[in-house]
A = this chain, B = another copy of it.
Amino acid sequence: MSRALQRIKPLERNETLAGRAHDELRTAIMAGRFRPGEKLTIRAVAAALEISLTPAREALFNLVAEGALESGPNGSVHVPTLDEARITEITRIRLALEGLAAREAALLMDDAAIEDARRLNDLIIKADRKQDYAAVIRHNWQFHFRIYECARMPVLVRMMEGCWLKTGAYLNLIYPEFGRLEDGMRNHAAIVRAIERRDPVALETAIRRDIEFAARILAKAIRAEPELQ
C-alpha cells in the first residue's frame, strides 16, 4: 500500500439516524430538558428530530432498555420519576459502583487525567459563579467520568452512566441551590486532592461524601415538590 493511502483515515461510520436520535435524547435527559414523568411519544420525537417513526421508536425503546427512560402501560414511554425509596436505592448503588471505580482510578490515573480533572473542577466553579447551571451539570458529569474512565472498566462506566441518567431529569431541579453550597465545593476539592496524591481510600471517601451530599439535596428537593414524584 502506498504511503499516501496509509495516511487516509478510515471512513467514520455514518451514524445512523436511530443512533443520533439516541444520543440526542440521552444528552437532553442528562441536561434535564425533560420534566420528570413527561411522556415522550414516538411521533413527537420523530417530528422534533425530523426523522420517521422507525428510528425514533428504536431510540426511545433502547433508552428504556438502558434504564434511562421507563415504559408505562400501552407501550408509552416516560421520563423516570423518583421517590425517596428510589433515590435511596440509586444512592446505595452509586456508592458501591463509584466507590469501586474511585479506588481503581486512583491507582491508574496518569498526569494528563489528573490535570483534566483539575481543569474541569475549575470550569465547574467558574460556571457556578456565572450561574450557568447547564454548564455546571455538564462539567460535573465530565469531571466525575474523567476520573472513573481511568479505572479502565468499561462495563462499570456504562452502569454508572445508567445511574446518572435516571436522576438526570432532576438535576436542574436542585440547582442553583446545589452549586452554591459550600459542602459541594469542599467535596470536589477533596476529590482533587485525593487524586493528586493517588490515594484510593481518600478518593473513595471524598466521592462517597459527594454522592451522599447530592442525594440529600435531591431528596430535600423532591420533598419540597411532591408533585414531581
Contacts and interface: CB of A to CB of B under 8 A. Distances in A.
Interface stretch (A91-99, A168-176, A180-188, A214-222): A91-99
A75 B155 contact: no
A156 B89 contact: yes
A13 B64 CA distance: 12
A199 interface: no
Interface string A149-191: 0000111101100110010000000000000000000000000
Interface residues of A, number: 37
17 contacts: A11-B74, A13-B74, A54-B54, A62-B62, A65-B65, A66-B66, A89-B153, A90-B155, A92-B100, A92-B153, A92-B156, A93-B97, A93-B100, A93-B153, A93-B155, A96-B99, A96-B100
Given A62-B62, A92-B156, 16 more contacts: A10-B73, A13-B73, A18-B61, A57-B58, A58-B61, A63-B65, A65-B66, A67-B155, A86-B155, A92-B153, A93-B153, A93-B159, A96-B96, A96-B99, A159-B159, A159-B162
The 3 closest A-B pairs by CB, nearest first: A10-B73, A62-B65, A65-B65
